[in-house]
Amino acid sequence: MASHLNFILIPFMAPGHITPMINMAHSLSKHGVAAAIILTHFDAARFSSAIDPIRLLKIRFPSSEAGLPPACQSADTLPSHDLLPNFAAAIKMLQRPVRQMLRELHPTPSCIISDKLLTWTAATCDELQLPRIVFDGMNCFTQLVTHNLCVSNVYQTDQPFLVPGLPDRVELTRLQLPGFFNPGPKHVPGFREQVRETEASAYGVVVNSFEELEKSYFHEFRKVRGGKVWCVGPLSLCSSKNMVKEVSIDSDPCLKWLDGREPASVVYACLGSLSRPSPAQFAELALGLEASERPFILVAKGAEIWKWIGDEGIEERTRERGVFVRDWAPQEAILSQPGVGAFLTHCGWNSTLEGICAGLPMVTWPLFAEQFLNEKLVVGILEIGVGVGAKCVVHVGEEEGEKKVRRDGIKEAIEMVMDKGSEGCKRRKRAQEFAEIAKGAVREGGSSFLNVEDLIQDIHRFTKNKKQIDTAG
């Protein structure tokens, strides 16, 4: 049955969107499905080691036609947020060549799994009569909160409000909401509405989560979507490539440094691949870590921030217990090390899931998009995290004027998460239990494994019915 199907995956051009889609392709392949992923030449080159043996379909990114520098072919490579409209225009230009590619593809596609931000794939799937399954990298909790806010309009107030229709009590303010409800100055008018509309009309939704993590939210969201919701994660555990094992202790200085640390003693801090905190806000983070007197690894990006690190002298002051990493670190490998005891994260869902899979309690510092909603799940519902006190979304382009989280709040949150008392131990135990459940979910017979099987069977039925209709016609 599965051998006759051909799933085509089309991710948005950003590392946090591409990586889970590659892992999803590996998962489908393990179930006997032919899976292919469409990437630009730029992304194909930098993710080549993670893709094999998945079929790769390359497409040229129209940088120059959209007024972008040649090297700007992914969201994380934009030198300025002012180029976001150009980037959006380039992505829209991909519709025609992708449509032509799909028309000429053999075997014929059975369905398209598309990032929700690629709204033009909706029209392409309609034209080719293919089911479009949406992937947007969020969890069921966030999806349900978003739906209930749209239906109720309770967010249209300056006061804190309770989200209606949820299994748990969740209080938010409008300033903590994603751009659909709380747009910033750099938003593209009408784009989020188009995303919402094409997402609602999609055949189904695949979710990078596992049922046991958010069971009641999974069931409620399935009701909203008419049953066509498949939790298939954690996708980081589904790849045929074990990226954690491929990074050796001897080859990476962070892992080598961690190898000599006491168990569960180190705080790993990283605010994600797209976050760009101002030097002033980064200073509060670094000084909060210093004040905690805990060993730490801190990922730092940007020339201004590294200038501050040099001028402040903090790297020298903390050299016996701190490591500053320039731009990128092997996050999954670091989180899996026994020396790490907590993860200070921006609450992007990929990072949050990686922390859950590693069995780590989290220090939460949401910045933008749906990250405040993820914090509500981690801190208030799963009870495996402590917040630093962030109050509102920092919109793209507003980083210099962001409302600062103070070093005292960071220090206090670290102390609570690393505490060896009863509350800290309970939090750590819950995190470790979720990690074991996550591993079981993707094993044969686990909830996510069975959901992938169900997705495949659903597309098989759709394809069979379509052939019967075409033959009868």
The structure tokens listed for 103 are 């028309």
Using CA atoms, how far apart are residues 417 and 438, in angstroms rounded to an integer? 21
Give the catalytic positions in this structure.
17, 115
Length of the chain: 473
pTM of the model: 0.94
Look at residues 262, 312, 276 and name the one whose alpha carbon lies nearest to residue 400: 276
Look at residues 105, 111, 132 and name the one whose alpha carbon lies nearest to residue 120: 132
Using CA atoms, how far apart are residues 83 and 164, in angstroms rounded to an integer? 38
Q: What is the DSSP track for 273-341? A: SS----HHHHHHHHHHHHHHT--EEEEE-SHHHHHHHHHHTHHHHTTTTEEEEES---HHHHHTSTTEE
Question: Tell me, what DSSP letter sits at residue 65?
Answer: G
Contact 408, 288 (CB under 8 A): yes
Using CA atoms, how far apart are residues 336 and 244, in angstroms rounded to an integer? 8
Give the domains, in start order, of the chain with CATH numbers: 2-232+443-472 (3.40.50.2000), 245-438 (3.40.50.2000)
Which positions ≥6 away from 200 have C-beta within 8 Å? none
Using CA atoms, how far apart are residues 378 and 373, in angstroms rounded to an integer? 9
pLDDT in tens, the chain (473 residues): 566 899 999 999 999 999 999 999 999 999 999 999 999 999 999 999 899 899 999 999 999 999 999 989 999 898 888 898 999 999 999 999 999 999 999 999 999 999 999 999 999 999 999 999 999 889 999 999 999 999 999 999 999 999 999 999 999 999 999 988 998 766 667 888 899 999 999 999 999 999 999 999 999 999 999 999 999 999 999 875 554 445 555 568 999 999 989 999 999 999 988 787 889 999 999 999 999 999 999 999 989 999 999 999 999 999 999 999 998 899 999 999 999 999 999 999 999 999 999 999 999 999 999 999 999 999 999 999 999 999 999 876 665 556 689 999 999 999 999 999 999 999 999 999 999 999 999 999 999 999 999 999 999 999 998 888 877 76
